[in-house]
Chain A
Amino acid sequence: MQVPARFEYERAQSVSHALALLDRHGPESRVIAGGHSLLPMMKLRLARPEVLIDINDLAELSFLGVEGDELVVGALVRHAQLLADPTVGRFFPIFHDAERVIADPVVRNRGTVGGSLCQADPSEDLSAAFAAVRATAVIQGPDGEREVPIREFHRGPYETAVEPGELLTRLRVPLRPGAGSAYEKVERRVGDWPVAAAGAQLRLDGGVIAEAGIGLTAVGAEHFAAPGAEEYLTGRAPGEEAFAEAGRIAAEDCNPQADQRGPVAYKRHLAGELVRRVLTRAAGRAAGRAGDRQAGE
């Protein structure tokens, strides 16, 4: 039996209560939601928080839906909820692609979107997916709310813009009519951390790419993104060669580390291959959605 070191436990009743508890217990306290990253680390005694602040009762953070021209994803939305939501699937197939390959149903039933982002594991799939769709993170602290673009949210492995005493409350994702998106990963086994993964969103306009978003997982891409490849694609006609070149640029720009999932050369190769694949699928979906829209008009 693996057991954590001794800790105290608090159960927050509201966001303000959670913030008060964070303030009271200071930097040695940790927020717990799904617990699928924190608890294993505690059991291995790699993490030793003195106090756990449980936010699972904060129903206000479980909102998932469209508000205006944005998709709003509460920090406490479970992976399974995101995966089951038809609106999410319609506007952002990238999230459904990603959620299908995140861990397993047991983890997805409990793990949360906010927890995934705040854990800031370099191998976390949703970080790349949100980077691809250029989400905005909403963070609440004692002095109120502030907004951080997702590409400024991650400051490095296991480090985010959420300061001690603050709480990530939700993500806002702009709806992009006509856009298509996709996510794909290579893993050694279902449920393993990715060897590498990539996500992309493409918005086409007049036969050229008006906007490209590319997210990369587990390959040491800064802020989980591939801006060089995105820039290359913008204004170009979608196609096999353009996507392959974008993959090549993304592969060159990332900085993977060797581990038991593979050597650097392989991970870099995968970054390129997967970017090529998700761009192809995203473009296909964008074309399909453009058709839907016309039919609906």
Chain B
Amino acid sequence: MTQDTSGTTTPMGFGRMHRKEDARFIRGRGTYVDDVRLPGMLHGAILRSPHAHARILSVDASAAEAYPGVRAVITGATLETLNLAWMPTLSADVQAVLATDKVRFQGQEVAFVVAEDPYTARDAVELIDVGYEPLEPVVDARRALDADAPVIRDDLEGRTGNHIFDWEAGDRAQTDAIFERAEVTVAQDMLYPRVHPAPLETCGAVADFDKVTGKLTVWCPTQAPHAHRTLYALVAGLPEHKIRVISPDIGGGFGGKVGIYPGYVCAIVGSIVTGRPVKWMEDRSENLMSTAFARDYHMRGEIAATRDGRILALRVKVVADHGAFNGTAQPTKFPAGFFGVFTGSYDIEAAHCEVTGVYTNKAPGGVAYACSFRITEAVYLVERMIDVLACELDADPAELRMRNLIRPERFPYTSPTGWEYDSGDYPRALRLALDMAGYDKLRAEQAERRRGDGPQLGIGISFFTEAVGAGPRRHMDILGLGMADGAELRVHPTGKAVLRVSCQSQGQGHETTFAQIVAAELGIPPDDVEVVHGDTDQTPFGLGTYGSRSTPVSGAATAIVARKVRERARLVAAAMLEASPQDLEWSVSETGGRWSVQGSAGHGRSIQEIAMAAHSNLELPEGVEGHLDAVTVYNPPNLTYPFGAYVCVVEVDPRTGQVKVRRFVAVDDCGVRINPMIVEGQIHGGLADGVGMALMQLMAFDEDGNHLGASFMDYLLPTALECPSWELGETVTPSPHHPIGAKGVGESATVGSPAAVVNAVLDALRPYGVRHADMPLTPANVWSALRGSPLRTDLAIT
């Protein structure tokens, strides 16, 4: 190990080291899509619908077209002539690129102006005159299936209502039978409200269509560049080898940058129409109003249990608000994502869930914001239900959880809905979290405070299990593209290496983590490994980064491709040492990796020496190619199952409803940690997300379908002042099927933390007879809950 000036060390493999990419980020030298400036580039702006639901009577763009500096105005009618007015979504639906018949949510794309500069484009957008006939909107998802509800998707033939799909999992009969004879049953309605990942960088694109070569280059902050390229090829009919998607540095994705947005298509059409590169960058309000939201699950949970707290069965019904177009991003066979894993971390005999997807007059989306394909909703449901049961039984929520957790000897564990959990020791993680928190002392302090009428203490627990790293291609694809990912590794003659991967970092630190995986396998310093990603002309095919899949899938591919190179190096070393390959042994020391003759450590060659020899005039045995490189495609045999135990401590002022998060203890088990510092950073971010969702983030809609959270004045992100100093702990149960035992961690804290915060607030309110209130627990909501009527947080407060 070498000491660097900051006091951290650069390990020859796994361990803490500063992120290689940070040098450019902290100097402001990153290249985001808005930094891309091409000669002759034009700028686009989108006209959006002010109405949630309205018929388009006319679109008059003549004044905009005549405005000085405007080069083109594209409307739905323009796109219809190109057969591009509608595009397929990631969920077998279609979405309007630019509206033609109706607008179906406030903020929907109606027209696109291309001009010499962004200011002119914005000014000209206002000159487009659209005639609307307002229609009654569907705002309340619970009323979307009413017989008299307006039909949103009359563009779909034969559609007479707003029903999208029904999906179920588990054994209904067995579950119902247990409920019928159970000693105790509890039920609770709860909403996981619509939230938005709100990445610092909004969405945008630079499209450059070269009429001479026929090549289309699109710079765009996509989490899945290869999938985008294939979709452009399939939808627009452009030859795939003539499309290059470059995903430059991304300022946060969180799942909101998986799909293809109308603005991307507009930029491409704009470039084709004008013959010049076109940049389109959305502003903050556009991002919040129109790009992928998350959650919006109206859930009813029920638990059947014994009187002494053994959980027997779990039953769930969900109305899922998918907005105006079904555009959720998840594997094809999973219309409710991985919600089916809703039994969580508990050994429950039977379970059943039904999910009904509905259209409403809101933006499309639903799977985003680090949700692990809806496991966020599932964890929230079960963790809230456990506390509701604890309330009913007057039981301690920690003991109740401990009693029902899946025991370590049960792994691999098959859940009642058919998921095979790969590994875990849940009681150990929960015990560690409780110890770190000083649980008994906290309960004593709580009892003390309950004797007064000052701020009350609340202690909330959440135990989560995730299923990430999608996934086995037999079960999992997106629009027919299997979820396997490639990796290519090339070691240069001097022993430096370049790794090319299909996943795409949005801030996760791939350039460091993946270099460390190569370093661990080949015994070369991480700084000697360049990681290339985000450019379809430069990297192998794969489905990208979301659902915490980079380390479980691309990380595995990286380890395997490095091992292939190491095996090639063995053959070269054998030729160098004039020994049999079987007689060589591999070792990695502080000075690096080395193949040596067994039992004779001095008789060996370093990986750098082998690399040079592999490119030299050394005679190689029959069948051994020269050079030192390899390719692989990794098809995961199963998902990985990271888990964790969280304890949140809050103070609630019952007179004002204000909540202060005093402490947060997070014990995470993501298997083997490659760079613990990056893992901790991911957890810190996810915990802040959880505080935000639980306490302040809110996108409600008024009765006209107006979006009430369309700016950062209304949609509140947590700051350092709302977050305590996180207290992190860890246990390590390596994934048995992953090459390096890693499980993925990108979404763990976002998935696990909201329930801990909500449980803590409701724990504080328990003496007041409050059993449940929906997120976000704003002061007004807490105060209203104390008076017996918590707010309906998806609708406007009246």
Contact = CB atoms under 8 A, between A and B. Distances in A.
Interface of A: 1-3, 5-6, 40, 44-45, 186, 188-193, 195, 258-263, 266, 269-270, 273-274
A189 B716 contact: yes
A53 B286 CA distance: 30
A266 B783 contact: yes
Given A195-B780, A262-B797, A266-B780, A273 B656 contact: yes
B658 A186 contact: yes
A64 B95 CA distance: 58
Nearest to B796: A260
Interface residues of B, number: 36
Nearest to B780: A262
Which DSSP category, helix, strand, loop or mixed, fits chain A's interface? loop
Given A1-B118, A1-B283, A269-B783, A263 B716 contact: no
A129 B643 CA distance: 50
24 contacts: A2-B284, A5-B123, A5-B126, A6-B123, A40-B713, A186-B656, A186-B779, A188-B695, A188-B779, A189-B696, A189-B716, A192-B716, A193-B713, A195-B779, A258-B798, A260-B709, A260-B797, A262-B779, A262-B783, A266-B783, A266-B784, A269-B783, A273-B655, A274-B656
Contacts of B604: none
A103 B86 CA distance: 43
A38 B708 CA distance: 21
B700 A260 contact: yes
B696 A188 contact: yes
A188 B781 CA distance: 11
A184 B791 CA distance: 25
Given A188-B716, A266-B784, A3 B797 contact: no
Contacts, number: 74
B722 interface: yes
B687 interface: no
Contacts of B721: 190
Interface string B778-797: 11100110000001000011
Nearest to B787: A265
B275 interface: no
Contacts of B695: 188-189
A3 B118 contact: yes
Given A188-B779, A195-B780, 13 more contacts: A1-B118, A2-B283, A2-B285, A6-B119, A186-B658, A188-B696, A189-B719, A189-B722, A192-B713, A192-B716, A262-B780, A263-B780, A266-B784
A228 to B, nearest CB: 22
Nearest to B779: A186
B285 A260 contact: no
Interface in B610-634: none
B317 interface: no
Contacts of B283: 1-2
Contacts of B783: 262, 266, 269
Interface in B259-303: 281, 283-285
A191 B656 CA distance: 18
Contacts of A191: 719
Interface string B694-715: 0110101000000011010110
Contact of A260 (B657, B714, B784): B714
Contacts of B15: none
Q: Which of A259, A260, A270 has the most CB of B within 10 A?
A: A260
A261 B711 contact: no
Contacts of B716: 188-189, 192
Interface in B115-134: 118-119, 122-123, 126
Given A186-B658, A263-B784, A258 B797 contact: yes
A190 B698 CA distance: 16
A262 B782 CA distance: 10
Contacts of B718: 189
Nearest to B782: A266
A260 B698 contact: yes
In order of increasing CB-CB distance, the 4 nearest A-B pairs are A262-B780, A2-B283, A190-B721, A189-B716
A201 B406 CA distance: 60
A3 B778 CA distance: 32
A270 B797 contact: no
B142 to A, nearest CB: 20
Interface string B352-382: 0000000000000000000000000000000
Q: Which of A5, A186, A191 has the most CB of B within 10 A?
A: A186
Nearest to B709: A260
Contacts of A262: 778-780, 783, 797
A170 B780 CA distance: 36
Contacts of B779: 186, 188, 195, 262, 266
Contacts of B119: 3, 6
Contacts of B700: 260
A3 B713 contact: no
Nearest to A43: B283
A44 B797 contact: no
A195 to B, nearest CB: 6
Contacts of A270: 656
Interface in B283-342: 283-285
A1 B281 contact: yes
A44 B711 contact: yes
B251 to A, nearest CB: 14
A195 B656 CA distance: 10
A188 to B, nearest CB: 5
B122 A3 contact: yes
B657 A266 contact: yes
Contacts of A266: 657, 779-780, 783-784
Contacts of A263: 780, 784, 791, 797-798
